Chain A
Amino acid sequence: MNREKTFNILRTAVAMLAAILVAFLIIILVSDKPVESILIFLMQPFSSGRYVGNIVETAIPLIFSGLSMAILFQAGLFNLGGEGVFFMAGIVGSIAAIWLKLPIFIFPLVCLAVGAGTGILVMLVPGALRAKFNANEMVTSLMMNNICYGVGCYILNNMMRDTAVSSLVSYKYRSAALLPTIVSGTRVHVGILIALLCAAMVYVFLYKTKWGLQVRATGANAKFAKYSGMNVMKVILLVHVIAGAVAGCGGIVECLGLHKRFEWTALPGYGFDGAMIAMLANNNPLGVIGAAAFVAYLRVGADLVSRFADVPTEMVSILQTLIILLISAEKFLHKYKQRWMEKDIQIKEVQHEGLH
């Protein structure tokens, strides 16, 4: 492993540590019994199988959204449409899960396909506008988020709403459509396996295929990619299709894995989480799994503190901000990086001289 890579890992570790230290600081400032709260935050998530299960189930949607963003970032695209895709795929997938009648095994797969298809369609709006007309994909994708939310709410209110229940939820999914739980005593569902499979597939796509190389080349330098004969327009479309499919899958997996009905009444927030996870993972699909697990751990910890002690859960967003700022800061710990890299060169020089 070269020193630059080691340094990146080190910097990520420092950022994670800083986040946890800031969490301590917040707890000390806010809590009446800081020591107890900190212990709950740090240890409680590992104290029982149920809480570890919570970490895993929290990580599932984060893996999907992180993968989706990692692909887009690798191509140098700032599309933040994961939010809308999650919501819309959840809605359309839920329609399938409520009204279709299919045998077990096939049913969830069909629902996933419907969700992924919806995700592709939603993502393709900013994707096509960017590929064809160079429209800023960030602004268009953000508009799509709000449009998806409005249209989704309309469908939920007028077509799917179960009026027998007082809260705003859809009719119950058919039980054959639900994703089964795989660890008894927890809510960990088969979605985790799908998420891991997706991560592996995205990894193979990005690093082992010709198309993946083109995606990464486009992200590194779009002009260079274009002049070396790559079809940048196709790459942009392809990236959006894959990102949409992955995020759409994540949306419906979350619905069918954890809920019996469609329950989101607001955008779930996974779009921006995805950006953070992808960054933590340095846009590496396999790293996304670890990054999602870490963020899920922070969230479960914060959730437990708010339940068993007196610190609001939203503390997490402050930690996340810090992580994003520190990890994306090129110059953070730069001085040390310089020294570290120079040492590498010196060692090589010494080895080189030794050969003569």
Chain B
Amino acid sequence: MTFGPEIGIGKIEANPSTPFLRYAPDGRLFAVWTEDHDAPWPEGKQSAEHQHSRGDRAPSPMRNAFLAWSNDGKTWSARKRVNSDVEAVQGKENGPKVAFDTNNRAYVVWSIPGGKGDKTRANIRFAREDGKDSFTLARTLNEVKDAGRFPIIEATLEGNFLVAWIDRRIDNPRPRQLYLMKIGADGKALTKNYQAGEGLCECCKLGFAFADAGKTVYLVDREVDSNKIRNHVLRKSTDGAASFGAPVEISNDGWQVPSCPHSGPSIGRDSRGWLHVVWFTLGRSEKEAGTYYSVSKDNGKSFAPRQLVHANTVPEILYANLAVGNDDTVYLAWSNLDNRSRAQIFMRTIASDGQTWSSIQQISNARANAGRPVLALKNNQLHVAWTETDGEDSRVILRSAATRR
């Protein structure tokens, strides 16, 4: 694929990071991401011994979420702040996510650290566009304080929204639980928080795919068993996420790891109903480490043997995502190290036959590191965005390509 030039999104001085892309029903491409809050260190927290190394301001954990849209990925609207109050919007492990109602209004979820600044006991925040070019007051979705992390949101064709996250309100037995709730188009809760699964890895993002106008819901996550083996599973609901069947193992990778894998799976569904999943695993030895892909052709009952997308070059957690085209081609993007030991973004495709792979293409040229790619695809226009970091600086980069010549 031939990609266009790099486009920077956000205010570069404010260190934009962790973008998420999604098309609204009207065909506009939206991005949501985080930036440093420009205000000084919060009053009462200034610390003389911890001044920013460049001396321009004290290091503040406060970050904001911003939303902007584009018709072509090149020119972007003015950005709008999503969070009504300044708060430490989390980006590193899982940035904000957006979904849209039929009127193209944005519904955004993100997380903020818990009461003591604990990112592992965080809170799920939500706001929606209020129809007056702004956002509603943000509110917390988790009913038990300091318990949620890694939220995702998806719109159903009924006009409602499903939000899922990793929850630790039940701290024993570990590991974590999967919690969900439904929100109406008016932003009001349609359900209380409810548990839909358990045994989740504490630090690995979730992935959604919908079918039948939201009646069938597929959710992928990384599980962790009592031996700390972390394989990925698919959970399927046929009643609009009211209940989920037993988890189906996507691949028995056997990665036993007591530390933070920090990288979860991504799922997409094609026009035939095939489910495509991409993930990172180290497997049973470092020789297996890499980004892997599998497909289910029976609505999630089973998965084909995994296929290696790209092997690791050094021990490094890789971040992978995918998008599925109208012609059922699957577009995969992930991070890996280049031959100068810098993390870069790579891409390849697998054709609709499920067998024909393109060659691997490097699409970033980060000075230090690039990571956490996200994709959006519509009408043969593919957009890939990621975060580049270099020392204390970060920026969001987007590149676009036509998927057909």
A and B associate: no
| Chain B interfacial positions (CB closer than 8 Å to A) | none
